[in-house]
Amino acid sequence: QHKFWDEQPVPKIYEENEESGAIEEKTLDQVRKDPLALPDAFEWYDIDVNSDEDMSNVYTLLEQNYVEDDDAMFRFAYPIPFLRWALTPPGWRRDWHIAVRVKANKSLVAFISGVPVEVRVDQKKIVKMAEINFLCVHKKLREKRLAPKLIAEVTRRVNLTDVWQAVYTAGVLVPKPVSKTRYWHRNLNPPKLIDIGFSSIPRTYAKFRDPLDMTIKYYKLPEKPLTVGFRKMTKKDVPAVQKLLNDYLRRFKVHPEFTQDDFKHWFLTRDDVIHSFVVQDPETKRITDFVSFYSLPSSVIGHQKHKLLKAAYLYFYFANSTPLVQLIDDLLISAKALDFDVLNCLDIMDNAQFIEKCKFGPGDGNLYYYLYNYKIPDLKPEQIGLTML
Ligand code: NHW
Ligand code: EN5
């Protein structure tokens, strides 16, 4: 039933694991030195992230062919600066940015990417992995087994660097998830979200004289953050926040470890890409809390008035002093001030503590977490300490 996945070092769907660890151990001499064969009309091409032309081609492929919701109303539209950020953390490699082109006219028809990440699983020692993302096959070339080719080729190239594990997330169920998580959404712009069909007027308001007005009032937020000492994170905060974030993440069963360079890359604010905030105690001057979100718009498919949904996604955080509900409220206020329509999160980490209190509602999408070549007993969403892009 899974022609490809049944042959890969991943657990079977029904398999229950009691221990964690690698599924297979291989050595470099067992890895093919030449690329996998593609159908004759196609060729491999490594994307040059520094080329505007290459990046614009990746952008267009994804904008027109990447992930949609179940009703095909919205499609992720990762902007070019976001893609550059996502593809170039410390240690990135051009040969992990893999495209397939039509030989005849060089047009891009498929893509998959890997970037390096250090992940700790089940409180054991840190494992070097590839974080796999942006797997995409053009709509006109679907169900021709091109995806397994892309996956096998990225696996080969990752293996050639002596890396044997990977982490990835997907909305679909394949063998075999570490965890099944759910999306939650916090409405920041009720008129627009209702207009585009992202949300509807709560049933309980339908009987009132002005249901939209009731909805707007329900979701209303203060103009400015409420926590004393809440501000944008700066370069100077990096050493302290990097350490405190790693300390916080250690309580989870799957989490990344960030070097100082990793932390700078992933969290220093880049306009329209990543926004990070801290709380600094006015007395001690110490950083007590940290919270971040990334900006990922979606195309609104076939809408006359609105072309783009401006969505913010909760990224990493820790709350050592400020109540988590208050920290997230300040994040919502900041996202609203930056003109986002919605703030999304998953039910991972400590998110259950604030989800309902901060007026998030359940989405219709799931997100499965996966490890390649690593088995582990099933995890609850709250044991996951990793957010992907
Ligand atoms: S999840 C987003 C994936 N992309 C999309 O959903 C975009 C829209 N869809 C498409 O472009 C984030 C196509 O439908 C795709 C499939 C390309 C998805 N994960 O070519 P065929 C990521 O990027 C399996 C894993 O005929 P297609 C994470 C499927 O089960 N497997 O299908 C990516 C079947 O195998 P089976 C997936 O529709 C992680 C086979 O592909 C999958 O034309 C990748 C069918 O292929 C998915 N999302 O193209 C794994 N979707 O065994 C990384 C389908 O069931 C592993 N399939 O017959 C680690 C690698 C590195 C290891 C290093 C040590
Ligand atoms: C790899 N890094 O399904 C990621 N999105 O809920 C790839 N639903 O936006 C895998 N269908 O529920 C990504 N509104 C997998 C996710 C794919 C995209 C997806 C879902 C997540 C989504 C929205 C729109 C639904 C439109 C109809 C949704 C309801 C929100 C409402 C807000 C107010 C309170 C109640 C809930």
Q: How confident is the model at residue 306 (pLDDT cuts 50, 70, 90)?
A: very high
Expressed in angstroms and rounded, the spacing between residue 298 Cα and the centre of ligand 1 is 20
Q: Is 367 in the pocket of ligand 2 (CB under 6 A)?
A: yes
Residue nearest to atom 31 of ligand 2 (CA): 199
In the prediction, which pLDDT does 164 show? 98
Q: How confident is the model at residue 158 (pLDDT cuts 50, 70, 90)?
A: very high
SS3 (DSSP) at 377:
coil
Q: How confident is the model at residue 228 (pLDDT cuts 50, 70, 90)?
A: very high
In the prediction, which pLDDT does 243 show? 98
Q: Is 388 in the pocket of ligand 2 (CB under 6 A)?
A: yes
The ipTM estimated for the assembled molecules is: 0.99
How does pLDDT run across 19-67, given as a tens digit for each residue?
999 999 999 999 999 999 999 999 999 999 999 999 999 999 999 999 9
CA 336 to chain centre: 21
Q: Is 298 in the pocket of ligand 2 (CB under 6 A)?
A: no
Expressed in angstroms and rounded, the spacing between residue 364 Cα and the centre of ligand 2 is 5
> What are all long-range contacts of 29-38, with beta carbons under 8 Å and residues at least 24 apart?
31/156, 31/159, 31/160, 32/156, 33/160, 35/153, 35/156, 36/149, 36/152, 36/153, 36/156, 38/100, 38/149
DSSP β-ladder status, 108-121 and 127-137: antiparallel
Q: Which ligand is nearest to the CA of 368?
A: 2
Q: Is 365 in the pocket of ligand 2 (CB under 6 A)?
A: yes
Expressed in angstroms and rounded, the spacing between residue 310 Cα and the centre of ligand 2 is 13
Percentage of residues in the chain having pLDDT higher than 70: 100
Residue nearest to atom 28 of ligand 2 (CA): 363
Q: Which domains does the chain have, with CATH numbers?
A: 5-179 (3.40.630.30), 181-383 (3.40.630.170)
